[in-house]
Amino acid sequence: MDKNTTLLLSQLNALLRLTQTETMIAETRRAQATSERIERELRANTEKCNRRTELITDAIRDLGSVPDLVGLAVARAGTLAKLSAEQGQPLEDALLSDLLLEHQLLDRTRFARMLAEQTSAPAKVTRVLDRLEVAHTATIEWLMQRFAEIAVGGPPALRPSPIQSAVGAGIRLTQFPARQAANTVNRSIAAAGQLQQRAGDAVGTNVARARELVNAAGEIWTAGRDATLERTEEIANKRGDRNVARRLNRVRKDVGAVRESELPIRGYDAKSVPVVVTGIDRLRDPSQVRTVLAYEESNRNRKGVVEAAKARIEVLASSLVAAS
């Protein structure tokens, strides 16, 4: 067996291990899907991962070798450790790790394709590598769409686990720009943290209950949040701290804590659903759509308006991906 063929087999076995990791992660993300559409897409990806595993295994055998079963077992153990460790990360960091994995899969696939061209590898092996390249390119685009939705503040396609929710809340609060608002919110979140800690022992068996506890704790401070934010913004403006005031204004808009006059659609409260939807479709700034969505959800919560705002954010997110 020549050097390139040996190296090709090494890369195929590496792809096999990484695909095992990819499959387990896809299964985990299915449980975090926020909609049936996303769940279907992740389920389909899991099935395709399994199919890719079969194709890579066949390719290794076509080259006269056998799959590295020991390596697969190690890969499974490593993935379990990864999925456990990511509970201490915000969801965005976990998704960045997923993206890194897909880039590694894509790069190894392209390298293996180069090696296959320089050996006497059967045409079947080359076709498998072509399929893998297409698949990983598509998965990277799917993940970038999710990041674009996060970037424009759209409804997330994946929900964080209860522990990730607590971690993400903690990070956001440490970055809150005004001390007065931060102190008010942090005291309340401390109560949520205590409830989260009590629920922590039961996360494995009663995740739904843990989420309920966190959400209930969040209601402690939601009622006074709007007034606190607006008052702190006023103080910042009076003191001439424009940066703090601007950040607080953005926070207010992101959570819908605004007056009708601050919305990008004039006379919003008096308009019917079709008229508001038309107005939303004309908005080009994702932050304006986020403000409308948050305001609507905090007030009348009309299904037609909420769905239109979410759809508009997806369109703007897609445009962002296309431009990147």
Vertex 138: Cα angle to 289 and 108 (nearest 5): 135
Regarding whether 106 and 80 lie in a shared domain, the answer is yes
pLDDT, tens digit, 9 for 90 and up, residues 252-285? 787 778 889 999 999 999 999 999 999 999 999 8
User: What are the tokens at 281?
Assistant: 């479709």
Regarding whether 227 and 108 lie in a shared domain, the answer is no
Range of the domain at 53: 3-151
What's the pLDDT at 247?
A: 80
Q: Can you count the helices (H) and strands (E) in the chain? A: 12, 0
Regarding whether 64 and 136 lie in a shared domain, the answer is yes
User: How many domains does the chain fold into?
Assistant: 3
Distance CA 287, CA 153 (A): 7
140 sits in which H/E element: helix 123-151
What pTM was estimated for this model as a whole?
0.57
What's the pLDDT at 85?
A: 60
Q: Is residue 243 part of a domain?
A: yes
Q: Are 17 and 75 in contact (CB under 8 A)?
A: yes
Q: Is residue 157 part of a domain?
A: no
Regarding whether 77 and 217 lie in a shared domain, the answer is no
Q: Is residue 54 part of a domain?
A: yes
77-81, 139-143, 231-235: least confident range = 77-81
Q: Is residue 95 part of a domain?
A: yes
Regarding whether 109 and 22 lie in a shared domain, the answer is yes
Q: Are 17 and 72 in contact (CB under 8 A)?
A: yes
Regarding whether 143 and 167 lie in a shared domain, the answer is no
Q: In CATH, what number is assigned to the domain containing residue 127?
A: 1.20.1260.10
Looking at 220, 240, 257, the residue that finishes a domain is 257
Regarding whether 145 and 29 lie in a shared domain, the answer is yes
Residues in the chain: 324
15-19, 119-123, 188-192, 210-214: least confident range = 210-214
Which residues are bridge partners to 158 per DSSP? 33
Residue 178 has pLDDT above 50, yes or no: no
Alpha-carbon torsion, ordered 41, 43, 44, 49, to 10 deg: 120
Q: Is residue 170 part of a domain?
A: yes
Q: Is residue 294 part of a domain?
A: yes
What's the pLDDT at 132?
A: 93
Distance CA 274, CA 259 (A): 21
Q: Is residue 38 part of a domain?
A: yes
> For residues 174 and 165, which has the higher predicted lDDT (pLDDT)?
165
Residue 301 has pLDDT above 80, yes or no: yes
Distance CA 81, CA 101 (A): 15
Written as one letter, the residue type at 16 is L
What's the pLDDT at 215?
A: 47
- The band of 102, judged by pLDDT with boundaries at 50, 70 and 90, is very high
Q: Is residue 156 part of a domain?
A: no
Regarding whether 65 and 188 lie in a shared domain, the answer is no
Q: How many CB atoms sit inside 10 A of residue 123's CB?
A: 9
Distance CA 91, CA 157 (A): 11
Regarding whether 282 and 247 lie in a shared domain, the answer is no
Residue 30 has pLDDT above 80, yes or no: yes
Average pLDDT, rounded, for the chain? 77
Regarding whether 101 and 56 lie in a shared domain, the answer is yes
Looking at 234, 257, 280, the residue that finishes a domain is 257
User: What are the tokens at 206?
Assistant: 């009663």
Q: Are 130 and 113 in contact (CB under 8 A)?
A: yes
> What single DSSP character describes residue 158?
B
Regarding whether 146 and 19 lie in a shared domain, the answer is yes
What percentage of the chain exceeds 70 in pLDDT?
72
What's the pLDDT at 210?
A: 43
Regarding whether 181 and 96 lie in a shared domain, the answer is no
